[in-house]
Structure 1
Amino acid sequence: MRYPQAAADPRGATVFERFTDQARRTVVLASDAARAHHHDYLGTEHILFGLIRERDGAAARSLESFGVSAAVLDGRLTTGHGEQARSGHIPFTRHAKRILEQSLRETSLLGHERIGTEQILLALIDDRESTGARLLRDVLPVDFEQLRQHILRQVTEHRLTAELGLGPTHLTNLRWTDAEHALCVAAAAEAGQPLDAWMRDRILDAARPGAGTE
């Protein structure tokens, strides 16, 4: 699939070169959604469809946890009047390009190297005037800030589990409420660290011999 020209990161790579496999499939699925609805453009609403249909991505898991599914979204997306789906390259809208490029900033803020579906979703809900954001707001039972905190919490738990090699039992112990997560975010910001780095340090401190003793 051909991608639109995108901004380069400081190391010279384009945004798309830093996409995970799930993020790449999201763009392909977004293109499929545009064709299926006989649209001659790929917009933020199609990116939202791609995110929810990429079932292996963190974005889909977050959205599904709030009851947002492809079936729920599909009934709200208008279908064009063309007789058949457009073949070949479908141009991205201005908003869609901006969201994909903004996902690079979300990735940098999290201290990550690769752009995943969760960063694309974070970028989408930040562009609240886009069609995709308005569509999501209509079906989401919580506000965007609650969704953002949920995504960030899931990202942090997953990364800590992977980096520290924790098993399922330990993973359960890493889960916290929205209020607890907010406190951790504030503490990490005060320490001048990304949240996952701050949490990793706290866990490693607790795991050192003699931790918690006088």
Structure 2
Amino acid sequence: MFERFTEDARRAVVQAREEAAGLGHGYIGTEHLLLSVLAWPEDPSAAVLVEAGLDHATARQAVRRLLGEGRDAQALASIGVDLDAVREAVESVFGAGVLDAPAEEPEPRRRGWFRSDAKAGRVPFTARARKALELSLRESLRLKSGHIAVGHLVLGVIREGEGLGAKVIADHGLDAAELRRAIEAKTG
């Protein structure tokens, strides 16, 4: 599938890894895919989000608010922040286990960018991020594009609909249907 990605879409996937690392997260989720797109505001799809008021800094702040930074957990506990209470509140909204690291599930041996291979030093994609990437291919096919562009990645995140990327978009007050139409018009 990765061979269908445009150079910019490949750059966005690589940037998602960097976004996850920068937040101290040991996985790549839909929120990291969204942040990676917003890191390049000159991209037409990112421009749609930025024009709607959702820029990289705003989205990153929302992700931090929802999940925190991995390396800050001990610091928060040392100043009296009850992390169990925070976990309970987040899970009451997003579902049990949402903050847990992705389960170590045996996967068939695959080649490519999207496999989870911690032994090789690769950061695993969450199931929702993998679904969003799969949906980006479906969006490309639906739009008869012949390639997967950055806009298709955003459409995949929106279509997946339950990951933190979609949550950040919704919490910012953006209408998913309007956003889809605007991105489709720019992506083609």
**Equivalents in 2 of 1:104, 1:110: separation in Å?**
10
Identity over aligned pairs, percent: 34
TM-score by length of 1: 0.61
Aligned partner letter, 1:25 = R
**Equivalents in 1 of 2:19, 2:157: separation in Å?**
17
Q: In structure 1, what is the equivalent of residue 58 of structure 2? A: 72
**Equivalents in 2 of 1:62, 1:47: separation in Å?**
16
Alignment partner of 1:135: what SS? helix
**Equivalents in 1 of 2:163, 2:187: separation in Å?**
24
After superposition, residues 64-213 of structure 1 pair within 5 angstroms as 64-77=50-63, 78-81=68-71, 88-139=121-172, 141-156=173-188
**Equivalents in 1 of 2:48, 2:127: separation in Å?**
26
Q: In structure 1, what is the equivalent of residue 2 of structure 2? A: 16
1:6-61, CA deviations, whole angstroms, 9 ceiling, x for partnerless residues?
A: xxxxxxxxx21100011001011110010011111111100000111133433211
Alignment partner of 2:34: what SS? helix
1:51-88, CA deviations, whole angstroms, 9 ceiling, x for partnerless residues?
A: 111334332111111111111011122211279xx993
Aligned partner letter, 1:114 = H
Cα drift, residue 129 of structure 1:
1.1
Aligned partner letter, 2:135 = Q
1:72-110, CA deviations, whole angstroms, 9 ceiling, x for partnerless residues?
A: 011122211279xx9931010000011111111100111
- Bigger Rg over Cα: 1
**Equivalents in 1 of 2:47, 2:22: separation in Å?**
23
Alignment partner of 1:76: what SS? helix
Contact 1:22 1:56 (8 Å CA) reproduced: no
Name structure 1 gaps, 5 residues minimum: 1-14, 157-214
**Equivalents in 2 of 1:35, 1:21: separation in Å?**
21
1:105–1:39 distance in 2 versus 1, CA, 3 Å: same
Matched residue pairs, number?
Answer: 139
Name structure 2 gaps, 5 residues minimum: 75-117
Alignment partner of 1:75: what SS? helix
1:49 aligned to 2:48? no
